[in-house]
């Protein structure tokens, strides 16, 4: 089964098993629409039923089945929240799942290879693509800089190769 990461478990929230959750969905609370989460710290995912969840500040807080106190919530800190690809809706036009872009070669408008898309970092305003080649580039993952995406082929960005 192919898993897609839609979020991460953060620190405990209170003493009754609630935890902070970083959501990678848009909208933010889209993650709460999945009634069962597969959690992976290492090895095979463990399934937990979502009992309750809500937006809290700029993130989410959630309560999962079999997580009764702060200590139990703390053991899940850092766990990836996964759903099977079959559960996901088809992306819209000019929308992509991050997992489909990881590993793609990245070049700029001049055709210069910048490297390979390694991972994304969520910034305060938008996500950043971390591209590694001869050097490392942190490129905003927004339409202004994403010129072309060809799944399985590569990504073209409006970004200079030489930032000196």
pLDDT tens readout for residues 105-152: 999 999 999 999 999 988 888 889 999 999 999 999 999 999 999 998
Q: What is the model's pLDDT at position 22?
A: 93
Q: Which of 127, 106, 128, 101 is nearest to 116 (CA)?
A: 106
Q: Which of 9, 7, 142, 155 is nearest to 72 (CA)?
A: 9
What is the token pair recorded at 107?
């070049």
Which residue ranges form the domains of the chain, and what is each CATH number? 3-87 (2.40.30.60), 98-157 (2.30.30.240)
Query: 10 Å Cβ neighbour count for 42?
Result: 7
Q: What is the model's pLDDT at position 20?
A: 97
Q: Which of 163, 164, 157, 53 is nearest to 104 (CA)?
A: 157
pLDDT tens readout for residues 23-59: 988 888 999 999 999 999 988 899 999 999 999 988 8
Please enumerate in sequence order all residues whose Cβ is within 8 A of that of 119, keeping only pairs 6 or more positions apart, or say none.
102, 130
User: Mean pLDDT over residues 68-80, rounded?
Assistant: 96
CB 82 within 8 A of CB 39: yes
Q: What is the model's pLDDT at position 145?
A: 95
């Amino acid at each position: 089964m192919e898993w897609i990461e839609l979020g991460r478990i953060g620190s405990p929230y209170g003493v009754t098993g609630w935890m902070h959750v970083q959501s990678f969905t848009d909208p933010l609370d889209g993650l709460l629409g999945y009634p069962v989460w597969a959690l992976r710290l290492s090895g095979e995912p463990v399934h937990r039923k979502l009992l309750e969840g809500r937006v809290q500040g700029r993130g989410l807080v959630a309560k999962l089945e079999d997580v009764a106190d702060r200590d139990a919530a703390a053991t899940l800190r850092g766990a990836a929240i996964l759903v099977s690809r079959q559960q996901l809706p088809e992306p819209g036009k000019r929308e992509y799942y991050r997992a489909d872009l990881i590993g793609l070669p990245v070049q700029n408008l001049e055709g210069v290879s910048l490297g390979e898309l390694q991972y994304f970092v969520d910034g305060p305003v938008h996500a950043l693509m971390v591209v590694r080649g001869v050097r490392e580039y942190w490129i905003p993952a927004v339409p202004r800089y994403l010129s072309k995406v060809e799944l399985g082929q590569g990504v073209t960005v409006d970004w200079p190769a030489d930032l000196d």
